[in-house]
Amino acid sequence: MEQAKILIVEDEVNIARVIQLELEHEGYQTVIVENGGAAIEKMEDAS
């Protein structure tokens, strides 16, 4: 089964990192971006 991927959109690096650590601890694969524009680009690249 493929590991679930979560896109974290957060401009505060420390907050994003805490979220990332918790999600990865639960077994999710994560990617962090700083804003909505970068999130849209990531989503377009993934499809």
pLDDT in tens, 2-45: 788 999 999 999 999 999 999 999 999 999 999 999 999 999 99
Write the DSSP symbol of residue 47. -
DSSP per-residue codes, 2-26:
PPPEEEEE-S-HHHHHHHHHHHHHT
| Domain count for the chain | 1
Residue 1 reports pLDDT greater than 90: no
The domain in which residue 22 lies consists of 5-46
- Give me the pLDDT at residue 13, please: 96
- Residue 8 token pair: 């974290």
Please state whether the predicted TM-score (pTM) of the whole model is above 0.75.
yes
